[in-house]
Amino acid sequence: MTTTVPAATRWPRPFRYVYAANLTESLGFQVGYLAVPVLAVSVLAATPGQVGLLAALSTAAFLLVGLPAGVWVDRSPRRTVMVAADLARAALYASIPLAWWADALTLGQLYAVVLLTGVGTVFGDVAAQSFLPELVGRDRLVAANSLLMTTNAGIQIGGRGFGGLLVQWLGAPLALALNAVAHLLSALALTRVRPIATVGTGRDRPAGGFGRQLAEGVRHVLGSPLLRPLAVSLAGINLTVNLMTTMLPVVFLRDLGLGAGALGLFLGAGGVGALLGAVTARPLATRIGHGRALWLPGLLVAPAGALVALVDTGAWLWLAGLGWLALAWRTGIGNVIGVSLRQRATPDALLGRMNATFRFLLTGAIAVGAGLAGLLGQYAGPRTPLWVGAIGAALTWLPLYRSPVRTLPDPDRLPPAAG
């Protein structure tokens, strides 16, 4: 059996446009991922607590509107939601270099921008994941997710390293202008998509009131013996890893005296790990089973977080980068297998609400991790969140091991979920 991920050109034309949109948006995101905290620390002199608040606000939208977004996505044309989300984020990111050029940029504006762009990301991501089964068919979900995540991981490798250098050369405000351009190009690519089914077009709205529809999505996830442990494990991964990620700019720029370029290259090691995870997910799952492929890598890389917490100059920097790569490898495998399982186990009419529930839990955990990192960094030192995250990350495989997911078959061979 071949495990080669099909090239984008072998897929239906609508999927190729979505793939192109994802490509450009991901390139911009990698620059913005570094530029925002670097801008806060180096230009606006943000404290560790303010950096933590900034990171928390960037994902707080998933807690504020994450669950309702799923209902709206299931009621609306999914492509239209994706285009609107891209245009809104382009305008918001463009406001940062404009305010900086006018000498009017403040932390308050940066807080508002990351919060509102987070709202756009909620709708864009939920709609995109709900749109995918319509574009490629449920029997090709593992391959499609593997292609998307392999591409994203490849971009992360070069994008964060190049993004760090770009921020260092141009300055964070001008680098963020590229993020705005990337979202505009993504919106343009999405306008070329013509849906190939009636799912999510507004003609098949789910029955019942808004509250009932929202509750249906939550029950579908939390009541499932497969989806519930998956959500718990992935939320734990996001919380613990973001405890570390939030404070890494402070540790690199202030404690170690390293520049944005070094930070970008270090985070780029995570891209290498995510790429390896996305590429090896399918052959590993074929060899040891999809259930084991979801929990066993977490056990194997349990000590890796400690290497990140010990980051320093010299040899310790390389060891910490290796630990960061290992954590990302585990996440890359889980993303390919886990997302495919979610999509395969959910009927079309519930896809938006299922994805919104997962994003509420998973990205909500990121917001909690960022806020907790800010508190711990402010009052116990920036190294403390690294150690708390490392200890927690070592335990995140347990919910999967203690559930039916441990013996999961290939998601593509699961019976389609009833509508």
Q: Tens of pLDDT along 388-410?
A: 999 999 999 999 999 888 877 66
The mean pLDDT of 181-192, rounded to a whole number, is 92
The model scores a pTM over 0.85: no
The mean pLDDT of 190-210, rounded to a whole number, is 61
Q: What percent of the chain has pLDDT over 90?
A: 25
Quote the distance between the C-alpha of residue 79 and its chain's center. Answer: 20
The mean pLDDT of 208-220, rounded to a whole number, is 83
**How do residues 90-122 score in pLDDT, each as one tens digit?**
999 999 989 988 888 888 899 999 899 989 988
Quote the distance between the C-alpha of residue 62 and its chain's center. Answer: 12
The mean pLDDT of 137-142, rounded to a whole number, is 74
CA Rg, the chain, in Å?
20
Residue type, 54: L
Q: Which residue has the higher pLDDT, 294 or 46?
A: 294
Would you say residue 307 has pLDDT above 80?
yes
Q: Which residue has the higher pLDDT, 285 or 164?
A: 285
10 by Cβ neighbours in 10 Å (0-12 / 13-18 / 19+) ranks as exposed
The mean pLDDT of 218-246, rounded to a whole number, is 91
Residue type, 3: T
Map tokens 């799912």 to a residue: 199
Inter-CA distances, 253 with 248, 258, 384, Å:
8, 5, 16
Would you say residue 149 has pLDDT above 90?
no
Q: How far apart are CA 408 and CA 199, in angstroms?
A: 28
Position 203 scores a pLDDT of 42
* Average pLDDT over the chain, rounded to an integer: 83
